[in-house]
Structure 1
Amino acid sequence: MKYVKYIALAAVVPKMVFAAAVSLQSVEVQRIEPCLEPLTTREISQQNEIIKPDPCAPGGGGGGGPYGPPSTPPSITYPAYTNTNSIKISWAASYGNGYPVTYELYESKNNGGWAKIYTGSLPSRVLSNKTAGKYRYRVLAKNASFSSSYRYGNYSLINPRQESNLYSKYPTTMSTLDSENYQFRTVNSAAKTGLKRDYPEGQSSSMNTDEGRFHLGNGFDLVRGSLKETCLNVNHPDFVITQTPPYQASTFDISYVNDNRHLAQLLDVSSSAQIGFSTDDFNLGLSGEKERYVNSVSDETYVRYVVKVKNRREFWSLSTPVNAIHPALVSNVLSPNDDEAKADFRERCGDNYINSVNIGSGLYLVFRFSAKAYSYQEREAAKAELSLAIGDVFQAGGATDSSSSFTETLDRLNVEVRADQIGGPPGVAAGIALNGLNVVDKYNQFVQDTNPSNWAAVDYSTNNYQRPTVYNAYAHSQIFADYTGSQGPLAQMRRWLDISVQHRERCDLYGAYNKNSPTQCHTSIGEISTAMDLCRETRNWDQCVHPHQYNTGSLTTTSPGTYLLGWLSTNVKKLNEDTNTEDYDHHVYKRSLNVDDRTCLKNSQCFLNPYRGSGPGIGKGFDVFSYYYDNPRGGSRSYSVYPQHCARTQVFLDTGNWILADTTADWEYSVRVEGLCPDAEDFLVIP
């Protein structure tokens, strides 16, 4: 079965429920009456089970029962995309006004009718065995007499990945490999790692005991950025692991972050680990390197510096025999020019194997502050100030004692510090305060308390699998799934990953200004993830194409759908800064005038920047410069933002009784508005 490609780009999501993710809200503690539902709850397993009324509840209004419905569940949350066949639906609890609440969950597939799929008291439900399609969910709350309104969620694309059970296909070979690998692991050291491990379909859970660690020789999936099983002949006498001192024992760097691509390099994030930003990635679990990248990615309004230290203590390397691949795989799985054999081998073994590693410890500190409230000149000055403060504290590769000037700078610029560690004393990075005021103390603790008991892999390298000599007459690509080349799946994946980063930058920026991101931001997440899945899975590599050539599919036809890159550039707009200045000169002679001026950005989709402005427009996004004001009998001036892209200035100018007083009223002034406007702008594609 191939992946189904979808088009979900025209979905309309009500504004009242649009949210990327909303945490469960607490509800008022309910007083338990003798006849009310007990504290323990149960799930109802049958989808169509009838809920009988509570015999203790007298009903609506007549005898003390519920007089009205419970509140509508405040939110409903589920992934925008998943490539598994299960999905978790969660919703925030409703307030029952002192009475028990149950929930009804409904599902719609491919814009069809609504079907009730759950009734119960729990605020979540995991749905399994879902087939490919576009799903939507809604939930309501009920008490003994009434029902609340529905809370609707956004669309979710479910696109289950195709998995092959190698243990059914090659039972003897897989069993032999597992047995020998288990023996190998029991007598050889393993390195701690943040890499995620993919276990092959059908493998016994008793073999899955080394999560968070790897051995030299483990396979590595370059496109997914995950560990695979060892497929080398570990019992061969030429399979040798050696240990030597590291080439470069310690490194220390302080770097300004130019953009998110540069950030990935500074955080040592391999291209294969940048798997995109669909919510499904978080559900499936992130590798350590991807997690530190995702946590530090931000829009371009942030100024960021990275402090990185690595202490390398041991270097391990692997030497392999000429015929390194296990003979059972050579005999029973590998087969020249056989796409299924290539896919099966890659599912078990990945693209490469890990052949060397430096172990020790590493600490990554990302200092950042929001520049939304600064002009360009102010931003540059603040950036220089932070750089100088960091440099003064972290001198010559180490941290000095905490200084009041450093903490004062962090506090005044409202600097956040995001920390991540590889090895070292557990919990140091997690213990660094977000405002960074204890960062120096924690840094010194990390350096001082690193020891052999907490070392981990700080660098690793991989080697290509070599052709068995029996297949020397064939090209490498005839034996193994070929990820290489400028148009190969790894290169295409990098392009899609970069598009996903740009997508996040554009859509997250709305939230930074307390605005709901457009519906198009949500509907396109699944489409980008679908395109990337075609590059992740070997059996779909014929559909893993350059973004310039990719069209979304249709649920009902095989004809090409929408040109996704063009749609993204047109509909997922980039917020750009915009300004406008208008001059006004109002003059009244022997009469009155109502002044109602609006100084606006270029269109109604723009909005004033609430972090900018001065005087009456401070925190509203505009500045007012009055050159002359004379209003003998008029009213007071007022200033407001209305509508969202305009600064509104109002006053009643009146000369009053001009026979005995001033015969003129004047207001000469100018207004400058600063804001952001969503502009259609091409997504950039890696050449």
Structure 2
Amino acid sequence: MSVFKLKMTSSRQTKSLLATMALGALLFSSESFSETPRIPIIPCEPERIESGDGRLPDSINNCDEPHGPGTPTRISVPSSSSNGSFSVSWGSSSGYVLRYELSQNRTGTSLWGNVYSGRALSKTVSVSDGSYRYRVRACNNVGCSGFRYSGTVTVASRPSTPSSIDYASYSNTGDVRVSWGNSSGSGKTYKLEKRKNNGGWTSAYSGGARSSTVTLDNGNYRFRVRACNANGCSSYRYGDAMIANQSEAMDLYSLYPHLVHEDNRNDAHARTTKTFIGEFPRRASAGNANSNPAARRSDADQPFSLGSGFDLLNAAYASLCLEMDHPEFRIVKNPSSKADEFEVTYIRNTSELFNSLEVTDSTSIDFTYKGVSAGVDSGSDRAVKSLEGTHNEVFVVKLVENRETWSLNTQPDPIKTVHVNDWLALANKTGRNAFRQRCGDRYISGVDLGARLFLVFAYDARRFTTEQISSYNSQISGGLRGAINGSYSNSEVQQFKGLLTSINTSVTAFSLGGPDNIDKQINILNFNQKATDFVNGTNEGNYRALKQYYRDYPHPRSLLSYNYYDLFHRYAPNLENVRRWNYLDAERERRCKTLNDYKQVGGSHIDLSHCESIKQEIQIAKEQCGRPQDRTYCLHPAAYYTAGVGSDPDRPGVLPQVQLYNEMERKIDYLEPRSASNSHSRSVTGGVWNKKCITVDEDVCLTEGVDTDCFTDVYQGNDLGTGRGFGLNMKEYHSPGSGGSQRHDTVTRGGLACLNSYVKACTKRIGGSKARIRFDHEIFGRCAIKKPFSLVGS
């Protein structure tokens, strides 16, 4: 017996065929057969392969002898790259290729790192600055070809654009801090530029830091920043428009050098007498040539003395201008005669919010981005943080611990003689300005000490029906009282907190005095216990000035021949105008927040473009009232005109010259709630062998006026229409037979927002029966209208 071994080779496997054949059965002598004997051959067929990307054939001839692929015909890279991202490409190889392997080498090293393995003929790579070479080879299961090497590509990247730029939209200090986000890239320098009144761009900073404080003249500004290195610069990141509006002040220290001596006297007095800490900032040393006392103020928690002046219009402590060394200048302490306070107030409007939070009217109340002043009193901070759009239901809880009362007795003629002679005796505007700049509008004659805690509870009412909101408000009002005053049992407290949690109620706390940082510890689950901790933890060591009492400066007896207002400013009209502007600003904020809410849910036609510019112009108007000198433009809103862009260096602005109050009505729409409803009632009686159906297919639409634009209010609704902008009261629906159905959808008919109700009811086919339909449906909407803003006290 002979053995033959036929071997077939493919690229994937080696196949062996072992054939054992009996020569007696296969080979015959030539005598027996005329034909030459043959050995059977098993055919070799191409092997099928999986080809996912179509770059290689679907089958290969695996019948040849095994061999590796050829070297790729070429490799290409750019000579340089300015951003570190580029493509490496190569030519195909002869023979069967299972994969290409691409390696990378950075000049100066001996290592080659693999960056790609696959069937493609190119690869995009991203690398940092440096010089690189690439090589590629082709491989299959038999082996790999030799490498094909590229030339050198040099990467010198420019930095990326800074990710952000950030600064206040209004500044009354003459300084603004500009910060910006990071930029990728090495060896970079940031270049900050500013532009005033739409003029040319000028350099404001160059360096490696990511923020800079820039000193500005009055005007309208915009900033931009980019990053640069030796390879070039990124594109610019632009910021929004901002306003610098610094009030000019008298340089009192240059004019009256003896004020330094008065400062030393005041400091010595503060070290030997009782001082207090309130919630207002201290105005910088009045008249200091190195600061602007009209606007720059230190942080709150600065001590003051009884007799210190107070700047009513800017809500800031001023200098002590009374003669404190006189024997009749006495400070008296008494226990407080006031009872402790506990109030729960449901907030219906801005006036109630300000009153409940004990907000002092001043120019420091502002809704501009990040505030305008170096220091803002905490009352203004409470107002700004608590003011929401029209959809929030708000409750304010106030806890006050009244402990001590301090009062000041003075001599009949208490103003320091030096100030009387230097300023008041001038009996003119210069003297009045100087005295107010140094001494404020009134002086502090008394103070109540203790601690105060505000808790502001709010929930978003948009997803609830009117009936639900009314029920929740009633429960919250009673629940807050019961949970905090202890009249609720533990189970009732937990049930009430469950209600607050279920409707996503938030609580924000503000404290003055009492245990340190207790306001930062309060949440919706512990507010009642923390309120108790606040009351129990209030002691003499953490008292603060809760309420300050003021007196007008008395008429100096040596100047009785002059009218009182020849000597002192009339602050009351200015303060009233500031109050009007504050309430207008609060209403503007509410309107704009509401407009923004509805723009997010499909109100694409809503215009928010004027909210920011009018916000800035209102702040300018208020600043006119807080100026230390000329308050010519501290006007009633109905009489105030904007300065116009670039028309007056002392009065910057972003709007052309317009009557601002009227412009507010023209440019900021009021979204007025609207609704329309209808009722439907139909019935039908079927015969013994006669099925009958009735159908109601009716629209109810919001009616638009000539100047209105209405849309469905998706935050309103009830029953099937909750969160869809409509209400449905299906009083009766009886469809004993088959075929009954109903559908309710908001639609647009002839440009009007409508609710379509389709309701069908049928009787039975056999036997007499009755089908009935009776329902009310209502669509809720908002219509953008021109509505005057409210003028408080007008």
Tell me, yes or no, whether TM beats 0.5: yes
8 Å CA contact 1:402–1:441 kept in 2: the answer is no
Of 249, 265, 271, the match for 1:186:
271
1:376 paired with 2:466, answer yes
In the alignment, what sits opposite 1:348?
A: 438
Q: Aligned match of 2:177 in 67, 75, 88?
A: 88
Partners of 1:168 and 1:454 in 2: how far apart?
40
1:614–1:103: structure 2 CA closer, same or farther, 3 Å change rule?
Answer: farther
Q: 1:238 to 1:615 in 2, by over 3 A?
A: closer
One-letter amino acid of the counterpart of residue 571, structure 1: K
Whether the aligned pair in 1 keeps the contact of 2:128 and 2:155 (CA below 8 Å) is no
Indicate the residue corresponding to 1:170 in structure 2: 256
Equivalent residue number for residue 259 of structure 1: 349
Deviation at 1:361, TM superposition (A): 1.0
Match of 2:166 in 1: 77
Alignment partners' CA distance in 2, 1:138 and 1:641: 46
- 1:497: which partner in 2? 582
Distance apart, 1:280 and its partner CA: 6.4
Q: Deviation of residue 576 (structure 1)?
A: 2.8
How many Å apart are 1:463 and its aligned residue?
A: 0.5
Distance in 2, Cα, partners of 1:113 & 1:399? 69
Equivalent-residue separation in structure 1 for 2:596 and 2:521 (angstroms): 27
Q: Which runs of 5+ in 2 are unaligned?
A: 1-105, 108-126, 135-151, 292-296, 601-605, 680-698, 736-742, 759-774
Q: TM-score, normalised by structure 2?
A: 0.66
Amino acid at match of 2:661: L
Q: Does 1:125 align with 2:212?
A: yes
The correspondence for 1:678, drawn from 777, 780, 784, is 784
Q: What does residue 444 of structure 1 align with?
A: 532
Distance in 2 (CA, whole Å) between partners of 1:532 and 1:678 is: 28
Instruction: Give the 3 Å change call, closer, same or farther, for CA 87–673 of structure 1 in structure 2.
Output: farther
**CA distance in 1: counterparts of 2:298 and 2:192, whole angstroms:** 35
The residue identity in structure 1 corresponding to 2:425 is S
Tell me what 1:111 maps to: 198
Instruction: Please identify, of 610-619 and 113-122, the stretch whose mean Cα deviation from structure 2 is larger.
Output: 610-619
Q: Distance in 1 between matches of 2:198 and 2:746?
A: 42
Q: Which residue of 1 aligns with 2:561?
A: 473
Find the partner of 2:639 among 540, 545, 549: 549
Partner amino acid, structure 2, of 1:82? S
The structure with the largest strand share of the pair is 2
Residue aligning to 1:296: 386
The match for 2:622 is 532
- The one-letter amino acid of 1:457's match is A
Distance 1:641 1:243 in 2: 71
Is contact 1:218-1:228 (8 Å) kept? yes
| Structure 1 residue identity aligned to 2:353 | L
C-alpha offsets along residues 132-185 of structure 1, whole Å, 9 cap, x if unaligned? 22112233455765755543322212122112221111111x123212211111
Tell me which residue corresponds to 1:574.
Answer: 670
The whole-number CA distance in structure 2 between the counterparts of 1:523 and 1:462 is 36
The alignment's C-alpha RMSD in Å is 4.2
Contact 1:252 1:397 in 2 (8 A): no
- Asked if the contact 1:394–1:400 (Cα under 8 Å) also holds between the matched residues in 2, the reply is no
> What's the counterpart of residue 28 of structure 2?
none
| CA-CA distance at 1:89 after TM superposition | 2.1
What residue number does 1:394 align with? Answer: 484
User: Which residue type is aligned with residue 111 of structure 1?
Assistant: N
User: Given that residues 222 and 272 in structure 1 are in contact (C-alpha distance below 8 angstroms), is that contact kept between their aligned partners in structure 2?
Assistant: yes
Deviations 1:614-654 (A, max 9, x none): 7997655467999999xxxxxxx9989999997999x9xxx
- Conserved? CA contact 2:172–2:372, under 8 Å: no
Question: In structure 2, what is the Cα distance between the partners aligned to 1:209 and 1:417?
Answer: 25
Q: How does 1:481-630 map to 2 (within 5 A)?
A: 481-484=569-572, 488-513=573-598, 515=600, 518-557=608-647, 561-579=657-675, 608-612=712-716, 619=723, 621=725
Q: Distance in 2 between matches of 1:548 and 1:422?
A: 37
Contact 1:76-1:89 within 8 A present in 2 as well? yes
- The 1:548–1:140 alpha-carbon spacing in structure 2 relative to 1, beyond 3 Å, is same
CA contact (8 A) 1:274 1:497 kept: no
Q: Specify whether residues 380 and 273 from structure 1 end up closer, same or farther in structure 2 by C-alpha distance, changes over 3 A only.
A: farther
- One-letter identity of the residue aligned with 1:442: K
Which range moved further: 248-257 or 340-349? 248-257
Q: Which has the higher contact order (CA 8 A, sep 6+)?
A: 1
Letter in 2 for 1:393: A
C-alpha distance 107-272 of structure 1, shift in aligned 2 (>3 A): closer
* CA-CA distance at 1:676 after TM superposition: 3.6
Q: Which residue of 1 aligns with 2:11?
A: none
* Deviation digits for residues 41-64 of structure 1 (CA, Å, limit 9, x no counterpart): xxxxxxxxxxxxx995559x9747
Q: Does the residue aligned with 2:632 lie in a helix, a strand or coil? A: helix
Query: Deviations for 1:332-356, whole angstroms, at most 9, x for unmatched residues?
Result: 2222431011111101110111111
Alignment of 1:242-253 (within 5 A): 242-253=332-343
Question: Per the alignment, in what secondary structure is the counterpart of residue 630 of structure 2?
Answer: helix
Instruction: Please state if 1:457 is matched with 2:545.
Output: yes
Deviation string, structure 1 residues 110-152 (Cα, Å, up to 9, x no partner):
1223345444444333211x11221122334557657555433
Which deviations, in whole Å up to 9, do the C-alpha atoms of 1:207-244 show, x marking residues without a partner? 98995222111101111111111110000000000111
Q: How many residues align?
A: 592
Q: Which amino acid aligns with 1:454?
A: N
Larger-Rg structure: 2
The alignment partner of 1:126 has SS state of strand
Distance 1:262 1:58 in 2: 69
| 8 A contact 1:221–1:228 mirrored in 2 | yes
Q: Distance in 1 between matches of 2:591 and 2:368?
A: 14
Once residues 103 and 371 of structure 1 are traced to their aligned partners in structure 2, the CA distance between those partners, rounded to angstroms, is 46
